[in-house]
Chains A and B, each alone.
Chain A
Amino acid sequence: MAYDVWKIRQDFPMIRNGKQMQGHPLVFLDNASTTFKPDCVIETMDTYYRDETSNSHRGDYDLCYQADKRIESARRTVAKFLNAEENEVVFTSGTTDSINLIAYGYALKHLKPGDEILLSKAEHASNVLPWFRICELTGARVNYVPLVDDRLTVESLKASMNEHVRIVALAYVGNVLGYVAPIKEMAKVVHSYGAVFAVDGAQAVPHMKIDVKDLDCDFLSFSGHKMCGPTGIGVLYGKYDILCKTDPFLTGGGMNVKFFPNGEAQYLLPPMRFEAGTLNIAGIYGLEAAVKYLQSIGMDAINEHEKELKQYAVKALKATDMVEIYNEDSEAGIVTFNVKGVFAQDAATLLNSKGIACRSGQHCAKILPEVLGTVATVRASFYLYTSKEDIDALVEAVKQGGDFLDAYF
């Protein structure tokens, strides 16, 4: 079946309802930041609040039982989506929460002075700062796998590995440049040193087919809102035996078996051990709806569509001869560029004045500029509903780059 972007666009109220920005039809090219929600996600969450409200695992009545069943079903749906086991899917508030759970639940427990955590300089703040904190707390140190032509390679990882490395934490797809890391081959290298491989999947899981068994990573973190799901819900996948060696980051109701006045407490097994407090129930339902929606279109089809858009955008932007592109050959649907002679933030303001939503700056990867040689860039990022017409609008706006102050008058 041919990919029908115009049919897909009809599923999204933010597109279908003719949303405007600055008096122009909204062209949303900030999908690496967050994504629109299809009707099915919004309605699923709405139904929970209108017709199904109940807590989970807290009562003996029908509504509560049904909530428990739905949460189990959502966990199953997500597990299947990743080719994981159900008990390897932990619901978190998002990628940041997931990575912090790895850091404070696993790394804090197992790392000691002299141990090493390997990152790259292209990592998002959420895959850098938790590790800085763990180093402060344990005496471990951070080191960086060098990028080769802006890419992570198996060879550069091999050259960075040593017997002190306990954790390797890398993004599957970089959020600034969109290069796809060879995770499967890297996992073999990491494991040959007995280290743990924590993969940041925030920019990968929404855009490509994931098989955690094939990848053989130990952890995989991602967010719901970047994949048509609600904000405030995300997932930590962890291999079950490693989750069993992970301490809870939050404790409280819903994660314990029993506890005694003497301070002794027994916790539930993973994944519930890590889900203290009332769950984000509407968020979990919404995430399940989003996963099913993406599956109905097909992850491979979405990935193909984005690749096509990327090539189309690179070609059209280059033809203007007015931009410098920093990631022409990266695989993901992300184009990172500057309009020649225009500071990134000024370019983004010009785009805003035309109704085009792009992100400018360092995109939370604050140690990347020393690699790129520019302090800031504009990032246009695509998703399943992005059309070639959206990109045409971007290209037309870029052509006016020299008049970027028009936005103010």
Chain B
Amino acid sequence: MPTFELTPAMMREIIMDHYSSPRHKLTPENDGYASLHSSSVNCIDDIDVYLKFGDDGKVVDACWNGTACAISTASSDIICDLIIGMDEKQAHYLIDQYHKMMHEEPYDASVLEEALAFMNTSKQAARIHCATIGWDAIEEILKEHHHE
């Protein structure tokens, strides 16, 4: 668990920060990225996610672009932040813990960092898909990359 308690004000600040100035919201200009399009029939979110892998299999860059609400913007941006530098196993572990948090199951908070700002998303169940759209897309890319 985190060593300090995350207050609603801190969670708001994290989400608003990544919503108003996302670090990884861009379409990569050069090749070498694996990408996946993700959209939802339930809402307006419609994004592309891009991952670049190094020779050692680690994620060397992650970014996303598209139309998205505050929750999907911030959550997609945060996973890009977290996943850069991770190997496949670490990335899957991170995503698993996040999904557990979304669905109110016990989870390992030590790896989630800023993603903990979404710990109460289950209160707005209709928005869980916004908080996971980027995460699910990245998980899919990881799976596809594994098979290549």
Contact = CB atoms under 8 A, between A and B. Distances in A.
A227 B119 CA distance: 40
A343 B70 contact: yes
A54 interface: no
A362 B44 contact: yes
A345 interface: yes
A344 B44 contact: yes
Nearest to B43: A345
Interface residues of A, number: 18
B120 interface: yes
B16 A405 contact: yes
A403 B131 CA distance: 18
A404 B126 CA distance: 15
A100 interface: no
Interface residues of chain A: helix, strand, loop or mixed (majority): helix
Interface residues of B, number: 21
Contacts of A349: 69, 71, 124, 126-127
A345 B69 contact: yes
Interface in B47-93: 67-71
Interface stretch (B7-15, B21-29, B30-38, B140-148): B7-15
A26 B121 CA distance: 21
A360 B43 contact: yes
A407 B69 CA distance: 14
B123 A407 contact: yes
Contacts of B15: 405, 408
Interface string A235-255: 000000000000000000000
Contact of A405 (B67, B68, B70): B70
Contacts of A360: 43-44
B44 A346 contact: no
B124 A352 contact: yes
B138 interface: no
Most buried by B among A344, A360, A409: A409
Contacts of B67: 375-376
Contacts of A405: 11-12, 15-16, 70
A130 interface: no
A361 B41 CA distance: 10
Contacts of A361: 43-44
A353 interface: yes
Contacts of A342: 70
Given A408-B120, A408-B121, 5 more contacts: A352-B126, A408-B11, A408-B127, A409-B8, A409-B12
Interface of B: 8, 11-12, 15-16, 43-45, 67-71, 118, 120-121, 123-124, 126-127, 130
Q: Which 9 residue pairs across A and B have the least CB separation, nearest first?
A: A409-B8, A345-B69, A376-B44, A343-B69, A346-B70, A361-B44, A405-B12, A346-B69, A408-B120
30 contacts: A342-B70, A343-B44, A343-B70, A344-B69, A345-B45, A345-B71, A345-B130, A349-B69, A349-B124, A352-B124, A353-B123, A360-B43, A360-B44, A361-B43, A362-B44, A375-B44, A376-B67, A404-B70, A405-B11, A407-B123, A407-B124, A408-B15, A408-B71, A408-B118, A408-B121, A408-B123, A408-B124, A408-B127, A409-B12, A409-B120
